[in-house]
Amino acid sequence: MRLATRLRTRHVSGPARFQLAPDEVCGLLLGRNIAYYIPGFMAHYRALGMKYLVYMDNGSDDDSVELMRGYERVIVLRNRSNFRDYQPYMRMHLGCAYAEGGWRLAVDADEILRYPGEGRIDLPALAGILSDRGHTGLLAQMLEMVPEGPLADVDDLGFDAVRERFRKYSLNDISALPYHSGDIPFHGFLARNTLTDDRVKILFGGLRRSLFAEDCCLSKHVLYRPGPNVLPQPHPNVSTGLHMADFTLALQHYKFAGGFLAREQRRQTEKRLSHNETELRLAAFAKQPRMALSVPGMQGDPTPEDLLEAGFLTASDPARERLGL
């Protein structure tokens, strides 16, 4: 299937390959019909210092490809393979075939990276800190961001407005498992990584568990340095062959933005996903069309420092010193 993925991938625009300096960062993005997110996504990550991007489009019928073609230092690819069957192979191909050197930032279009010291430390500086300390991988924890009040009232907001209005989050109903726990469904992939600090955990659940009974994984290997033994994303959240850092970052997740219900209904019709999470969410909204994405104990306006103090993120004392905390 890896060979089939390579053969089905078409180069649309941009150079054939990027050569990165040691601390430069190349983003990797697999998407379909993500035009809604692209301007905000690119503005955020370019401001953080992401110099390059490799984007693979999985059969969009919106303006995703055209928008991405307008950015400099972006390779645009197209692969129409069924996402349900080929997702890991498309992600592996993205991570292996189009850039050399530097670091890779593996994120989705609805994920906004936040981290302690972000106002002073850009992505190349963060990569430099990791390199200096011998780390090749960094874990992020996903935080679902939602609005106050019924989702139906804000379903048509643009992404910039969403980031202003979706300010609520919950730290309840989260399970933290040891990084190498055999109870993690994909522990075989994690076993191929080494851990610096056992306070770095794999998290599950959160707001989507509370509302929809989803046992979703919140942890993702978001930044890594390629190498001979590194395999990019054989699981959507995991790359292997990494020496993991002793601190974690946050990914503010805007899954419920931009016509969420219509998007979920289309996914259900197309049957492109291998899990039943879409059905769980649609069933909940069918029972309560004006559902507010809220549970007791909701909080607002997270900062990375707040999340660190609350224990959602973690950092060892040496990591805190390097991050200036």
E-only strand ranges, the chain: 10-13, 18-19, 25-31, 52-57, 74-78, 99-100, 103-106, 111-114, 137-144, 168-169, 174-178, 194-195, 201-205, 219-224, 231-235, 238-240, 243-253, 299-300
With a cut of 60, say whether residue 274 has pLDDT above it: no
For the whole prediction, is pTM greater than 0.75? yes
- For the ranges 12-16, 106-110, 194-198, 288-292, which has the lowest average pLDDT? 288-292
Q: Count of residues for the chain? A: 325
With a cut of 70, say whether residue 193 has pLDDT above it: yes
With a cut of 90, say whether residue 273 has pLDDT above it: no
Beta-carbon-side half-sphere exposure of residue 129 (alpha carbons within 13 Å)? 22
Q: What is the mean pLDDT of residues 133-142?
A: 98
pLDDT digits (tens, 9 = 90+) for 227-268: 999 999 999 999 999 999 999 999 999 999 988 888 878 777
With a cut of 70, say whether residue 277 has pLDDT above it: yes
Q: Which pLDDT score, from 0 to 100, does residue 5 have?
A: 85
Percent of the chain with pLDDT over 90: 84
Q: Which pLDDT score, from 0 to 100, does residue 48 have?
A: 97
Identify which has the larger pLDDT, 65 or 283.
65
With a cut of 80, say whether residue 102 has pLDDT above it: yes
Token digits of residue 49? 């210092």
With a cut of 70, say whether residue 7 has pLDDT above it: yes
Q: What is the mean pLDDT of residues 277-293?
A: 88
Q: What is the mean pLDDT of residues 308-318?
A: 97
Q: Which pLDDT score, from 0 to 100, does residue 188 have?
A: 97
With a cut of 60, say whether residue 43 has pLDDT above it: yes
Q: Which pLDDT score, from 0 to 100, does residue 85 have?
A: 85
Q: How confident is the model at residue 271 (pLDDT cuts 50, 70, 90)?
A: low
Q: What is the mean pLDDT of residues 154-173?
A: 95
Question: CB within 8 A of 180, min separation 6: which ones?
Answer: 187, 190, 191, 195
Name the nearest CA neighbour of 168 among 143, 147, 153, 152: 147
